Amino acid sequence: MPIPTIYTENRKVYIIDQTLLPIEKKYIEIKDKKEMWDAIKRLKIRGAPAIGIAAAFGVWLGVRNFKGSFNEFMKRFEEVCSYLATSRPTAVNLFWAIDRMKNLISKSNTENVEELKELIFNEARNMIDEDNMVCRAIGENGVSLIKDGYSLITHCNAGGLATAMYGTALAPIYIAKERGYNIHVWVDETRPLLQGARITAFELVEADIPATLITDNMAAFVMYQGRVNMAIVGADRIAANGDTANKIGTLGLAILAKEFGVPFYVAAPISTIDLKTKEGIDIPIEERGPDEIIKGFGKQTAPSNINVYNPAFDVTPARYISGIITEKGIITPPYRENIQKLFS
């Protein structure tokens, strides 16, 4: 089984601290909204679906100890939602989860504060079960693209640790393993924070799936050598026309796949599709601090006064994407029309 990313026990919320992987596998309790904001911002929990679930629990943590009137509660609730929304701008699941909580409260038939808090807690807990079902369905749909003997390449981490447990891009790989397929995975290191090396490699080793770690600039050569049959990545936001934001470096991998005739797939739940964002150019891209590059993991590797550009994500135009694997099926071009059909 994949490793649970976030869970609740005795009305306490725990996450696996991904900043410690792969050296230490440690679960930490998140006690309030500020700790959850910090966990999301500092990538203790990461991956669009996992961020969404974390935000939902963050809402509950922000109001669970509140005592006061209904109107005062609603003011606190809105403040908590707005605060959590500032943690990371690109992953649409964060805002989807917060909007889901707002819709839940607006449609409730009670003004009893304790009942409202219970509604929020149960909704967040249900999101874990839903995510597991969704990711399993993504895996079942995606495994239809994988043949016995395939060698796949992936970028960043869209495995169990980017969701509640099963993952998106790795879900078809896990199911292929269950079915006894002889498969292999090339794992992009994913600079500058090495989510591929630290997290995806860790997951695949734990799952006993054959994998080989490469630096990002080696992907072209392994494709040139004909050693890759399929590329599969996750997504943090998919625009209405199919343009996809994912971890920085995904665009380069997609362009390489196109050049070498390797099918390039995106795996994501439909909650990652943002119909309000018409094209990729409209997706807000988070920029992170220079120390992630100048002093990566505490080791200085560049002059302190050098200018640094550090976008956390890039956007892959839809023309490079062979298909988008969702829990409802595989979306194929033309994306704008077929995404609209899926939602209608």
Instruction: Give pLDDT tens digits for 15-53.
Output: 999 999 999 999 999 999 999 999 999 999 998 889 999
Q: In the sheet where 237-239 sits, what is the strand order?
A: 273-274, 237-239, 244-247, 313-316
3-class SS of residue 297: helix
At 89 the pLDDT is 87
Q: Which tens digits make up the pLDDT trace of 291-306? A: 999 999 889 999 999 9
Q: What average pLDDT does this structure show over 138-149?
A: 98
End-to-end CA distance of the chain: 35
Say yes or no to pLDDT of 8 above 60.
Answer: yes
Cα atoms in the Cβ-side hemisphere of radius 13 Å centred on 213: 17
Say yes or no to pLDDT of 219 above 70.
Answer: yes
Q: Which region among 161-165, 215-219, 228-232, 260-264 has the lowest average model confidence (pLDDT)?
A: 161-165
Q: What average pLDDT does this structure show over 50-62?
A: 96
Q: How far apart are CA 266 and CA 254, in angstroms?
A: 10
Say yes or no to pLDDT of 1 above 60.
Answer: no
Looking at the annotation, which residues are catalytic? 236
Q: Which tens digits make up the pLDDT trace of 23-32? A: 999 999 999 9
At 3 the pLDDT is 74
Domains annotated for the chain, with CATH where assigned, are 6-136 (1.20.120.420), 137-343 (3.40.50.10470)
| pTM for this prediction | 0.88
Q: How far apart are CA 72 and CA 79, in angstroms?
A: 11
Confidence at 273, pLDDT banded by 50, 70, 90: very high
Work out the mean pLDDT of the chain and round it to a whole number: 95
At 205 the pLDDT is 94
Distance from CA of residue 225 to its chain's centroid? 30
Q: What average pLDDT does this structure show over 102-106?
A: 96
At 92 the pLDDT is 85
Q: How far apart are CA 316 and CA 250, in angstroms?
A: 7
Q: What average pLDDT does this structure show over 280-288?
A: 96
